[in-house]
Homo-oligomer: A and B are copies of this chain.
Amino acid sequence: MARPILATGNLEPILRPTVNDIAREAGVSLATVDRVLNARPGVRAKTVKAVNDAIARLGYVRDLTAANLARSRNYRMAVLLPDTESQFIQSLAAALVEAGQAAAPSRTELRLIRFPAEDPHALAALLGSLSSRDLAGVALMAPETPVLRDAVRALRARGLPVVALVSDLPNADHFIGIDNRAAGRTAGVLLGRFLGGGPGQVMVLGQSLLARDMIERRRGFDEVMQRDFPGLEVLQSLETHGSPTTLRQVVTEMLANAPRVRGIYAMGGGNRTLTQVLGEMGLSGKLTVVCHELTPHVRQALLTGEITAVITQNLGHLARSTLRVLRAKADNQPLDESQEQIRIEIVLRENLPDLPAPASAARIDRVA
């Protein structure tokens, strides 16, 4: 149950300057240093400078853990996701919950809130009801609309950091997700090269051609196909609007009319229905299919060869990054960009990572 923390002995201290050192160095009292550090009023400009100079000279950095302890600071973050039931959203939600649990020891709490996917005003109202008294930050995955822009602006004006998830919002503090244009380009090379450069036709599917991420993917895809694979004819995008029925219909129709289709780029959701339709038409494994997001079903389809390649983003990373970024923003701290950059991952059957272990069971590592 309760184990002592430490097997190895303690180390000789690594000395870092403290507030007391600053006070001595600056020739002022602790109270004054505190006033400067925490931007409290009642200090002459001259004194402020003296303190800041001492800080610079000593290379002082505030011990955030001690500071947070003293303030009993805690970080309650809200993450807003559409109430869609797609496997992607579900996996994302699960990853967020897990990251939230893992962050609990560092006084971070994550509140997952779902909003009606098709109602921008309801979302805006929800955002309006969030208070910076209860929250330290907000993460949000939603398509951009005028009301949403205003609501985000209002939130930030109230001092709450807002980060955009998966699909960018231009007036958020930060965007967490992949570069969708580059993702589209990557899909393009994979399809192009796997098809040997042609000849043949390529079908493109997307939920809605209005969402920012879809637009960017399509643009990147076309860019590469036109430049590098002129032998492949890219057919017009088909919109599915998230409806399995529509998807089934447009795919069937297109495949009947375009017999030279050798590849499919599925930009958005609906991968489950797509593989199903292909199966029914006896085309499983006969076409080169590139899609997005490594959901459980896509995993399976990769293994059976129904899907050739997947462009994906690591949702665990995305979730942890979300918390780290929100926290950094809440603390007004700089962030490590390279750590927060979400990579575009290419998954084939051969580099399919092991299924992540269930969250709760803490694994035992090797023992001597």
Binding site for B on A (CB under 8 A): 1-14, 36-39, 51-52, 55-56, 60-69, 71-76, 102, 104-107, 109, 132-136, 153, 156-157, 159-160, 171-174, 182-183, 185-186, 188-189, 193-194, 196, 224, 314, 316-317, 320, 329-332, 334-339, 341, 343-346, 348-351, 353-354, 356-357, 362-366, 368
Q: Which 10 A-B pairs have the closest CB atoms?
A: A334-B362, A65-B65, A4-B39, A185-B350, A186-B351, A346-B346, A1-B52, A338-B356, A8-B132, A8-B159
Tell me the bound Cα distance from A67 to B62 in angstroms. Answer: 18
Q: Are B182 and A350 in contact (CB under 8 A)?
A: yes
Tell me the bound Cα distance from A159 to B75 in angstroms. Answer: 35
Contacts of A344 in B (CB 8 A): 351, 353
Q: Are B10 and A350 in contact (CB under 8 A)?
A: no
Which B-chain residue is minimally distant from A336 (CB atoms)?
Answer: B102
Which B-chain residue is minimally distant from A51 (CB atoms)?
Answer: B2
Tell me the bound Cα distance from A350 to B189 in angstroms. Answer: 7
Q: Taking A6-B332, A63-B105 as given, write out 12 further A-B residue pairs in contact, using a Cβ cutoff of 8 Å, ordered by the A residue number.
A: A4-B332, A5-B62, A7-B332, A8-B160, A9-B132, A9-B159, A11-B134, A186-B350, A334-B362, A338-B356, A344-B351, A345-B346
30 contacts between A and B (CB under 8 A): A2-B36, A2-B52, A3-B332, A5-B64, A5-B67, A5-B331, A7-B159, A7-B332, A8-B132, A8-B136, A8-B330, A9-B132, A10-B73, A11-B75, A11-B135, A11-B136, A13-B72, A14-B76, A14-B107, A65-B66, A65-B106, A66-B69, A188-B350, A189-B348, A193-B194, A334-B364, A335-B363, A337-B363, A341-B353, A344-B353
Q: Are B105 and A186 in contact (CB under 8 A)?
A: no
Q: Are B334 and A368 in contact (CB under 8 A)?
A: no
Contacts of A188 in B (CB 8 A): 350
Tell me the bound Cα distance from A71 to B14 in angstroms. Answer: 12
Of the candidates B39, B74, B132, the one whose C-beta lies within 8 Å of that of A3 is B39
Contacts of A39 in B (CB 8 A): 3-4
Contacts of A8 in B (CB 8 A): 132, 135-136, 159-160, 330
